């Protein structure tokens, strides 16, 4: 009996020692990450860092988090950010977001509110933390842009996982239910978007992707993006390659059912003030003349030479697909 008790005490002491050493290593990893962002010219800080979860977890709580790329103007701010991992399964991390946080771009501030928003990340520790799979799941999500309503979701889910046969390629699945925007109000209660996408990058998603240059897309394959927005149903598919400067080239096919209002609003959302209302009206009229069959519109979209074409009509510059 004494030997068993001694064994229990020794084992518990060893495990407690492992947890203490491990928790300090986890804390140091976060401290080093934030310090590295400052060294590379970013602004990254927090007011407090706490590691709890003894004996089986490493739960990290960061308070008053702010991180921004001072060159591009992209940033994120939150009153806290929490990660959770099992002390014997460090390759799997769960993240919990606060009910309110902020995303910044050079032109816009987005206020994000959510009933629940969590993420999960599984990495390969033997391959410099390369992402194996990750997902983001939220419910009751509301986004305001510069204090004005921008979008609401009953539920949003995004998942990414690697393609084992192609180490720099990834599959992305997305689902947004109960989507409500000023342009596409969810009057029918059926607004939704879902999609399956594959992307190729010029480097893997791993630790270096966070601390060094961001990976750049070299190919995007829209297997299927579909959904319903108000009375309009849509389906988008196609493949594009992306050049080193981020400009896509390739062919897409867009189908719209009950299409007239939706096409005008999509053009406005994509091109904004760079496309006049009169130009949008002309494009809608031309699309109806050449590509519509009643209330169904099948649009061939070509991206070439840095521009977007609907058939022979140049409707504007192609979007840049590289993060700033």
Q: In the prediction, which pLDDT does 169 show?
A: 95
Between 14 and 61, residue with greater pLDDT: 61
Pairwise CA distance, residues 163 & 299, whole Å: 31
pLDDT score of 102 more than 60: yes
pLDDT score of 269 more than 70: no
Same-domain pairing of 214 and 258? no
Residue-range definition of the domain harbouring residue 295: 231-324
Of 178-187, 253-262, 286-295, highest mean pLDDT: 178-187
Same-domain pairing of 169 and 284? no
Query: What's the pTM?
Result: 0.85
Which of 184, 204, 228 is the last residue in one of the domains? 228
Same-domain pairing of 204 and 218? yes
| Mean pLDDT, residues 307-313 taken together | 83
Which of 196, 228, 260 is the last residue in one of the domains? 228
Domain count, the chain: 2
Same-domain pairing of 96 and 245? no
Same-domain pairing of 281 and 141? no
Give the 3-state secondary structure of the chain.
CHHHHHHHHHHHHHHHHHHHHHHHHHHHHHHHHHHHHHHCCCEEECCEEEEECCCCEEEEEEEEEEEECCCCCCEEEEEEEEEEEECCEEEEEEEECCCEEEEECCCCEEEEECCEEEEEEEEEHHHCCEEEEEEEEEEEEEEEECCEEEEEEEEEEEEEEEECCEEEEEEEEEEEECCECCCCCCCCCCCEEEEEEEEEECCCCCHHHHHCCCCCEEEEEEEEEEEEECCEEEEEEEEEEECCCCCEEEEEEEEEECCHHHHHHHHHHHHHHHCCHHHHHHHHHHHHHHHEECCEEEEEEEEECCEEEECCEEEEECCCCCCC
Same-domain pairing of 111 and 182? yes
Provide the pLDDT confidence category of residue 259 given band limits of 50, 70 and 90.
confident
Same-domain pairing of 125 and 187? yes
> Which percentage of the chain shows pLDDT scores above 90?
48
Q: In the prediction, which pLDDT does 315 show?
A: 79
Pairwise CA distance, residues 4 & 137, whole Å: 46
Angle of helix 260-271 versus helix 277-291 axis, rounded to 10 = 130
Residue in 140, 169, 166, 142 with CA at minimum distance from that of residue 155: 140
Which of 228, 255, 279 is the last residue in one of the domains? 228
Provide the pLDDT confidence category of residue 16 given band limits of 50, 70 and 90.
low
Q: In the prediction, which pLDDT does 270 show?
A: 65
Same-domain pairing of 217 and 98? yes
| Mean pLDDT, residues 89-105 taken together | 94
Provide the pLDDT confidence category of residue 256 given band limits of 50, 70 and 90.
confident
Radius of gyration of the chain (CA): 24
Report the DSSP pairing between strands 48-52 and 89-96.
Answer: unpaired
Q: Per-residue pLDDT tens for 121-168?
A: 999 988 888 899 999 999 999 999 998 999 999 999 999 999 887 889
> Which percentage of the chain shows pLDDT scores above 70?
87
pLDDT score of 12 more than 60: no
Provide the pLDDT confidence category of residue 279 given band limits of 50, 70 and 90.
confident
pLDDT score of 18 more than 70: no
Pairwise CA distance, residues 194 & 196, whole Å: 7
Lowest mean pLDDT among 8-17, 223-232, 243-252: 8-17
Provide the pLDDT confidence category of residue 273 given band limits of 50, 70 and 90.
low
């Amino acid at each position: 009996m004494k030997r068993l008790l001694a064994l229990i005490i020794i084992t518990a002491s060893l495990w407690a020692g492992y947890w203490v050493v491990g928790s300090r290593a986890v804390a140091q990893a976060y401290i080093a990450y934030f310090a590295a962002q400052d060294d590379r010219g970013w602004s990254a800080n927090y007011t407090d860092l706490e590691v709890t979860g003894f004996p089986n977890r490493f739960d990290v709580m960061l308070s008053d988090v702010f991180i921004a790329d001072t060159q591009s103007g992209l940033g994120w701010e939150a009153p806290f950010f929490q990660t959770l991992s099992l002390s014997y399964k460090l390759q799997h991390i769960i993240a919990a977001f606060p009910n309110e946080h902020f995303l910044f771009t050079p032109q816009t501030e987005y206020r994000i509110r959510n009933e629940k928003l969590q993420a999960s990340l599984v990495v390969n520790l033997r391959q410099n933390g390369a992402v194996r799979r990750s997902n983001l799941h939220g419910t009751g999500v509301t986004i305001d842009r510069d204090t004005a309503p921008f979008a609401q979701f009953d539920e949003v889910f995004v998942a990414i996982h690697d393609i084992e046969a192609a180490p720099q390629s990834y599959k992305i699945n997305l689902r947004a239910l109960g989507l409500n925007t000023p342009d596409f109000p969810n009057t029918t209660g059926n607004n939704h978007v879902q999609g399956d996408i594959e992307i190729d990058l010029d480097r893997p998603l791993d630790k270096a992707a966070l601390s060094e240059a961001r990976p750049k897309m070299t190919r995007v394959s829209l297997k299927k993006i579909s959904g319903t927005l108000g009375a309009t149903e849509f389906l988008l598919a196609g493949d594009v390659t992306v050049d080193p400067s981020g400009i896509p080239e390739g062919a897409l096919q867009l189908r719209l059912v009950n299409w007239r209002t939706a096409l005008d609003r999509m053009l406005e959302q994509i091109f904004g003030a760079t496309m006049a209302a009169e130009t949008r009206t002309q494009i809608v009229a031309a699309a109806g003349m050449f590509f519509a069959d009643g209330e169904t519109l099948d649009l061939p979209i070509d991206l070439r030479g840095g521009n977007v074409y609907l058939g022979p009509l140049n409707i504007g510059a192609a979007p840049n697909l590289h993060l700033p």
